[in-house]
Every structure is written in C-alpha cells, then in structure tokens.
Amino acid sequence: MNLAERRNVLGGELAVCSLDPKTGFFRTGCCDTSDGDQGAHVVCAKMTEEFLAFTKQRGNDLSTPIPEFDFPGLKAGDYWCLCASRWKEARDAGVLIPIKMEATHERVLELVPFDELLACAETP
C-alpha cells in the first residue's frame, strides 16, 4: 500500500504527523497502520504537559527517553501518533489533546466518532 492509499479522517491523503521526533507504528512519520498494529497508533496528537502526566500515571511514560529503542522522550508541543484508545481514554477523563486531522488515520473512526475528533481539531 502506498501513502496515497492511506486516508485521513477528512477523506484525503494521510499527511505526515512528525519527523522530529519520528513517529508512527512503522516510524515513518505518519500515523499509518496495519493489522499488526494492535494499539491502532492512528491519532496525530500534539503533546501537552497535562496529557504526558496523564499517560505516565497510567503506566505509559512518553516523556522519558529510552535510548536503546531510539526513543527521545516527548515534550509538550511534540506531535506523536497515539493509540486511539489512549486518546479516547484521556478525552473521556477531561484531558483534551489537540489533533492534526489531516495526519490522523481514518481507522480511528472505528473507535471515536468524527464529531469528537473535530471538537479537538487543532486550529491553524
């Protein structure tokens, strides 16, 4: 499958989420996915201090670097392909995380209604 075949939640081509740090299940910079991506890392989210603290409390520390896995650790302002379920869990808990709609894979719509995504869409 080439990038043009991967669709975002707006129905267009899937845009790059982040190349610095390089994100995505396949570390291509895009929130592309496959059947092997059990966590559905498909939401291109802009990290916030509140979310980084939230996810760390739940056992997924995204702010601490892990050099052996070439993971730089994230800081507020970084973009990262989050698991759809973690994004929804945070949103349901009142932790709103801005998302880049053009870089969020349409697979998220299997778990999250479009209007919930739109309510958190990053504005230019």
Cα-based angle 101, 106, 107 (whole degrees, multiple of 5) = 130
Q: What is the pLDDT of residues 16-50, one digit of tens each?
A: 999 999 999 999 999 999 888 888 999 999 999 99
Q: What is the number of other CB atoms lying within 10 angstroms of the CB of residue 113?
A: 10
Give the span between the Cα atoms of 32 and 93, in whole angstroms. 26
> What pLDDT was estimated at residue 5?
64
pTM above 0.85, yes or no: yes
Distances (CA, A) of 51 to 5, 15, 79, 93: 31, 23, 12, 10
> What pLDDT was estimated at residue 124?
67
Q: What is the pLDDT of residues 63-122, one digit of tens each?
A: 999 999 888 999 999 999 999 999 999 999 999 999 999 999 999 999 999 999 999 999
Q: Does domain 3-119 have CATH number 3.30.56.110?
A: yes
